[in-house]
Amino acid sequence: DIEPIVLVHGGAGTISEDRIPGKYRGSKLAARVGYLVLMNNGTVLDAVEEAVRIMESDSNFNAGYGSVLNYDGDVEMDASIMDGATLKAGCVAGVRDVLHPITLARRVMDKTRHNFLAGQGLVDFTKEQGIEIMYPPGQLVTQYAKDSLDRWKQNNEKPSTGEGGTVGAVAIDRFGNIAAATSTGGLTGKLPGRVGDTPIIGAGTYADNLIGGISATGDGDTIMKVSLVYDILKRMEYLGDDMIKASEDALAAMSGRLDGTAGIVGLDANGNVAIVCNTEQISWAYQRGQTIAYGVRKGEIIEEQLSEGEMMLDVWSILEQLSAEYD
């Protein structure tokens, strides 16, 4: 039997000290909610979807509410989800005014015969599925994101990825089923219509029960040129490397040839954890059994042990807090 685990990330880049407590809190909560779903007969797909939804609701992350803004000051989001048992995938790009793009991606996977929807067809599909398109538009825009766009414009529009803040999750159950999911607002100041690595299978997200599952974050325009997460998984398959070595090598190869850095979180087919970045930092958390581990700073691993009762109660009380904050 494999030990189930839910592993999440909240973006890679340079995360300022004042943003770190929010990253800890949100990523821990996401891992714990995902784990709770898995322990209550949810599938690995349910676990990664719910974990990502938590971070999409949380303005500390660049996904859903609190997404970064494109050049015109609008939120445009990308997301994808993949099932490692069947290799089924769901992907969406350029999503506007939808709180949970990851759920839309899941619906594309479950309810259509395709992998990827975009444009007017995606808007029609969203309505058909009864998923709310918020009206009036612009409700996902936060003051923090507006200030970041202003700062970026004053700073001569350098293509800095800042703190990233993209979110993702990977889960494995005791049978070795793996799923991965990623959701993002992309990059501050991106051109309207720009699509990054996040919704592209093999670039930002991949899951295959036979090898492992990975979610990436970082400079998407670079990540997609090297199909980063697929490169990592194929290094493992063809070279027999473990996921940490494969990730370090793939990131070094990418950044050696191209401008841009990235980070990944992943689980191999045995549930071994990989958290690797060549950015300054990466926000991550996981729950395995009663252990919750998390970090942001380089090399940082904070571990907490949860009692069984605490494990449940605490999650629900934090969830209540979060929804109160959002209302």
Q: Closest Cα partner for 243 from 7, 4, 44, 31?
A: 7
Residue nearest to ligand ASN (CB): 220
**Count of H helices and E strands in the chain?**
9, 13
Active site residue 103: no
Of residues 11 through 50, those in contact with ligand ASN by CB under 6 A are 11
Based on CB atoms, which residue is closest to ligand ASN, 16 or 41? Answer: 16
Part in contact with ligand ASN (CB under 6 A); list of ranges 114-122, 137-145, 159-167, 293-301: 159-167
Q: How far is CA 278 from CA 46, 218, 275, 281, in A?
A: 30, 9, 11, 8
Counting contacts by CB under 6 A, is residue 205 touching ligand ASN?
no
Counting contacts by CB under 6 A, is residue 217 touching ligand ASN?
yes
User: In the complex, what is the shortest distance from the CB of residue 13 to ligand ASN, in angstroms, rounded to a whole number?
Assistant: 7
Counting contacts by CB under 6 A, is residue 199 touching ligand ASN?
no
Counting contacts by CB under 6 A, is residue 283 touching ligand ASN?
no
Contact 156, 76 (CB under 8 A): no
Query: Binder to ligand ASN among 66, 84, 165, 271 (CB under 6 A)?
Result: 165
Residue-by-residue DSSP string for 218-263: E-HHHHGGGTHHHHHHHHHHHH---HHHHHHHHHHHHHHHSS--EE
Query: Binder to ligand ASN among 80, 198, 281, 287 (CB under 6 A)?
Result: 198
Counting contacts by CB under 6 A, is residue 66 touching ligand ASN?
no
Counting contacts by CB under 6 A, is residue 220 touching ligand ASN?
yes
Instruction: Specify the pairing of strand 5-13 against strand 167-172.
Output: antiparallel
Strand partners for 273: 267
Instruction: Specify the pairing of strand 178-184 against strand 167-172.
Output: antiparallel
| Binding footprint of ligand ASN, residue count (CB under 6 A) | 15
Nearest 5 degrees, angle CA 183-CA 21-CA 190? 35
Instruction: Specify the pairing of strand 89-95 against strand 116-118.
Output: parallel
Query: Binder to ligand ASN among 184, 247, 261, 279 (CB under 6 A)?
Result: 184
Contact 60, 20 (CB under 8 A): no
Based on CB atoms, which residue is closest to ligand ASN, 198 or 247? Answer: 198
- Which residue in the list 161, 166, 198, 217 is annotated as catalytic? 166
Based on CB atoms, which residue is closest to ligand ASN, 48 or 292? Answer: 48
Part in contact with ligand ASN (CB under 6 A); list of ranges 81-89, 152-160, 214-222, 269-277: 214-222
- Euclidean distance between CA atoms 101 and 243, whole angstroms: 28
- Tell me the catalytic residues: 166
Residues in touch with ligand ASN (CB under 6 A): 11, 62, 161, 164-166, 184, 186-187, 196-198, 217-218, 220
